[in-house]
C-alpha cells in the first residue's frame, strides 16, 4: 500500500532507516512540531511539545515505554501519547504510514489539529523563540527577566 492510498494529503516527515531505535526525533508539518519514535518496525508520531511547558519532546529520552520530557520529566507513552502518571494528559497521536522507506503523515490531519487544538505558535525566527515557555509559572520567576535581558541587553 502507498501513502497516497492511506492518507488524504500525505507528507513525508522522515526516512524510516534514518530513525534510531527508541530515540525521539523532531519533525515539523505546517506550524506543528512532531516527535517520532521508532520502535521495532513501527513508528509513533506524536504532537512534539510537552503539554506542561511546551518543551520540545525530541529533546527528551525514552525510559521503558515512556517518552520523558527533558525539561521537567513529564511522561507520555511513546506508543499512545497517554501519560502513565496522569492519564488525562494525552499527546495527540497522528496517523502515520511507513511506505517506500519514508514515514508519512496526513497534512490535513495536522491542519485540523492546528485549527481545533490550537497549539502555541512559536516564533522560531526570534532568539530562543523555538523554546518559548507556553505556561510561565511563579516557580521560575526570572524567566521573563532573562528573556528581556537576552533581547535588550544588560541595562
Q: How far apart are CA 41 and CA 84, in angstroms?
A: 23
Mean pLDDT of the chain: 86
- Tell me which CATH code domain 3-119 carries: 2.102.10.10
What residue segments make up the domains of the chain, in order of their start? Answer: 3-119, 122-155
* Cβ within 8 Å of residue 115, ≥6 positions away: none
The answer, yes or no, to whether residue 139 has pLDDT greater than 80, is no
Q: How far apart are CA 154 and CA 138, in angstroms?
A: 23
Q: Where are the beta strands (DSSP E) in the chain?
A: 10-15, 25-29, 32-39, 42-47, 61-63, 66-68, 75-77, 93-94, 96-99, 102-106
DSSP H/E element including 2: none
The predicted-structure confidence for 64-109, as pLDDT tens digits, reads as follows: 999 999 988 999 999 999 999 999 999 999 999 999 999 999 999 9
Give 40's pLDDT tier (boundaries 50, 70, 90). Answer: very high
Quote the pLDDT of residue 30: 92
Amino acid at each position: 500500500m502507498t501513502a497516497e492510498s492511506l492518507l488524504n494529503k500525505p507528507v513525508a516527515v522522515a526516512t524510516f532507516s534514518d530513525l534510531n531505535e527508541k530515540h525521539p526525533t523532531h519533525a515539523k508539518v505546517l506550524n506543528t512540531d512532531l516527535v517520532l519514535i521508532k520502535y521495532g518496525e513501527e513508528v509513533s508520531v506524536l504532537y512534539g511539545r510537552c503539554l506542561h511547558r511546551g518543551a520540545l519532546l525530541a529533546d527528551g529520552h525514552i525510559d521503558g515505554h515512556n517518552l520523558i520530557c527533558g525539561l521537567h520529566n513529564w511522561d507520555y507513552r511513546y506508543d499512545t501519547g497517554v501519560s502513565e502518571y496522569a492519564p488525562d494528559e494525552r499527546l495527540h497521536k497522528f496517523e502515520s504510514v511507513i511506505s517506500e522507506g519514508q514515514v508519512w503523515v496526513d497534512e490535513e490531519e495536522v491542519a485540523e489539529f492546528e485549527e481545533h487544538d490550537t497549539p502555541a505558535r512559536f516564533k522560531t525566527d526570534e532568539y530562543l523563540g523555538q523554546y518559548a515557555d507556553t505556561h510561565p509559572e511563579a516557580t521560575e520567576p526570572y524567566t521573563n527577566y532573562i528573556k528581556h535581558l537576552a533581547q535588550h541587553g544588560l541595562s
